[in-house]
Structure 1
Amino acid sequence: MPRIYWPAGFVPGFADNFASNEIVMKTMTADQAWPWLATPERWPGYFPSLSAIAFWRNDGPLLTEGVCFDFTVKVGGKAYPMHNRILECVPPLPSDPTRPARLAWHSWRGEENTPERFEVHHIWLMQNLEGGRLSILTQETQIGRAAVELANTHPNAMVMMHQAWLEAMAAAIRQATAG
């Protein structure tokens, strides 16, 4: 498994909440799947818990390192606006299909040093596997009072949401690439 780069304070087991989800698709490549992850404006089309995607400045529509954007996420019937900054963006490399594609962003809401502050580090890895398969892994750590509350929900709301996101994205990719 490729190494995941966790910023200080966001290492799983030390952060307040952690979610890890993976899906393996057959007859799929990272090249085919990457645009469905790297184009946030597509996300609400297959994952309705995310909405109101808006890029800062003249960023977008594709995610690249340093890009900032906002979205609103619904969790447990409540809507939460989030600010996001891309920290790592390594698209698939057709000349090296063994190199994993990587995407990571930092999300936040609320003022710093307040009880309302909620921060997230969200990573995605896409890795071509032998036999024409593709692994899509997403992991997220969270810090803040809201993260503690989410960690205490059973089943874990973030694990459930990320699995729904992965499955819906996989279904959208399969439908678009069916031929």
Structure 2
Amino acid sequence: MSTAIHWPDRYTPGTTDNYVSNEVIAKGITAAEIWALLADITKWETYYWNCTEITPPKSGPKLEEGSDFQFSTFGFPPLPCTIRESVAPSASQPGRIAWEAVTDGEGGKTIYVYHAWIVEDLPGGRVRILTQESQIGDVFKDFAGK
């Protein structure tokens, strides 16, 4: 089974300035254990070295659909983000989390980013972790070598 990201039309891969995808299949950890780290923004800095200046949602550290948060990565100032999808994994469905970041910059510095994750248990005690990001903006053209 290959579960795919639910892309908003604006962010369809191949139509944006840059797109990145990473996938790993691991053994010895479950989708629920990964979800506990991914859906709690206060845990990010424990495993992602390129994440700083985190501001959790006002409702708390859990990333739920519609909640707003901020974080800095890759030298960007803190990005204002909104959770667009947040579904915990279960026996019948993969976990899904996605956020959108939009900055209204001047002089070609406006950016649009959609970052999505899927975590799902696989047969044989394995788990699939898929993360993909679609990016729009002049800075991402540079990332992609365009």
TM over 0.5: yes
Q: Which residue of 2 aligns with 1:81?
A: 78
| Superposed counterparts of 1:37-48, under 5 Å | 37-48=38-49
Q: Which residue of 1 aligns with 2:117?
A: 124
Number of aligned positions between the proteins? 145
Q: Which residue of 2 aligns with 1:65?
A: 65
Q: Structure 1 length normalisation: TM-score? A: 0.76
- Counting aligned pairs with the same residue, the percent is 35
Which runs of 5 or more residues in structure 1 are unaligned? 154-179
| Superposed counterparts of 1:157-172, under 5 Å | none
Q: Alpha carbon RMSD of aligned pairs, Å? A: 1.7
- Structure 2 residue corresponding to 1:101, chosen from 79, 95, 98: 95
8 Å Cα contact 1:25-1:135 kept in structure 2: yes
| Superposed counterparts of 1:44-55, under 5 Å | 44-55=45-56
8 Å Cα contact 1:98-1:128 kept in structure 2: no
Q: Structure 2 length normalisation: TM-score? A: 0.92
SS of equivalent residue, structure 1 residue 22: strand
* In 2: Cα distance, 1:98 partner to 1:129 partner: 11
* In 2: Cα distance, 1:45 partner to 1:19 partner: 23
8 Å Cα contact 2:41-2:56 kept in structure 1: no
8 Å Cα contact 1:89-1:104 kept in structure 2: yes
8 Å Cα contact 2:32-2:89 kept in structure 1: yes
Going by fraction, where is helix more abundant, 1 or 2?
A: 1
